[in-house]
Amino acid sequence: MERYGKIGLEIESKIANFLQEVKDNEGNPIFERVIHHEQFSTDDLRGRDISVYLRKNGTLFKRSFGVTTSLRRFHQKNGLHKAPLFFTPVDYNPEHLLQKILSLFE
């Protein structure tokens, strides 16, 4: 695997772990469920690296999205899949990314 691909997968895992921590926050959990789809799974190949579930007014909603650390890939792949794609540089801001993810539920 090329070096940048490995870095991208590491960032993807960090994002999934961060979202899991947000889910597990007992004082104010945001998500009911977080799924980090395995590399080369059907969801992954459809551009859905991570799926999150949020309950609003008693209804459970699911949103899936992809992440990439490559600006070139972001421009190539954005719009290729139905799932949104977020550009996340290596030094991404988790709180900023969380706001982008929450905006998927608006």
pLDDT tens digit sequence for 6-25: 888 999 999 999 999 999 88
> CA triplet 82, 84, 88: central angle to 5 degrees?
150
Cβ atoms < 10 Å from Cβ of 23 = 16
Where are any strands of DSSP class E within 1-106?
A: 33-36, 50-56, 59-68, 85-87
pLDDT tens figures, 52-84: 999 999 999 999 999 988 877 777 766 667 889
Residue ranges making up the domain that contains 97? 3-103
pTM: 0.87
> At 58, which helix (H) or strand (E)?
none
Contact 87, 71 (CB under 8 A): yes
State the total domains in the chain.
1
